[in-house]
Amino acid sequence: MRVLVFGAGGRMGATVCEAVAGDPDLELVAGIDPGAAGRRDATDSIVIEASTDTVDAAVVDVAIDFTVAAAARDNIAWCAANGVHAIVGTSGLDPDDFERCRAEFTASNCLIAPNFAIGAVLMMRFAEIAAPFFPTAEVIELHHDNKVDAPSGTAMATVRKMAEASDDWAPDPTRDEVLPGARGGKGTAQIPVHSVRLRGLVAHQEVLLGTAGETLTIRHDSLDRVSFMPGVLLAAKTIADHPGVTIGLDAYLHL
């Protein structure tokens, strides 16, 4: 598969470029990043372009996007219009974006995943399994201090899966919130979500579940961006086998 990387000049994009270039089944053919145009990518394989205007879509099979939501929407549309498979790990996309993708991707496929770390996908699945057995839950997501959106896509996907698995949640007992926001934001089913942004972190999440006399904590830690690469590479190699638009890496892992 011939791969284009959106955001090739950023830290995540550079890691993707290195992973793709190092895989014998994939070929890095293009990189897009307006802020790094004219530079060589992290593997010295390609010159990064400012936009898709100078890219021949015919030489691209799949594009990988780790940018920001506003840019990703345009990148996704370019993929759909040119019959290029799209793998999207950018946070901030919403159900309206998903529906737009379902309408636009008729000649190629699209995967939008909140997290590509295998352990994070399993964490979400474990939380979904546990949800019916615990009437109270809270999610704490922790990321590096350059992450611009909150809560993370992983946290939002987690509470959505938990809410789909159970509709029996105890109400928040808080009556006096001394510091506004102290109880965090409220996700699906009013499950509280707390976001931490701290220098030195990469990507981490805890799901806390409680019932009478016991608690369960499910935690995942990505200590390096390379943790996302096995999922990204799996997606790049198999996206052609998953027609239409897929939300989440679960289907690719047969969970």
Where in the sequence numbering do the catalytic residues fall?
143, 147
Alpha helix positions (H), 22-151? 69-81, 95-104, 118-130
Give the integer Cα–Cα distance in Å for 58 and 88. Answer: 20
Give the integer Cα–Cα distance in Å for 127 and 131. Answer: 6
Residue 166: partners with Cβ closer than 8 Å, 6 or more residues away: 131, 132, 189
Q: Among 127, 139, 126, 145, which residue's Cα sits nearest to residue 203?
A: 145
Q: Among 149, 108, 94, which residue's Cα sits nearest to residue 4?
A: 108
- What DSSP designation does 52 have? G
Tokens of 26: 């994939």
Give the integer Cα–Cα distance in Å for 58 and 81. Answer: 12
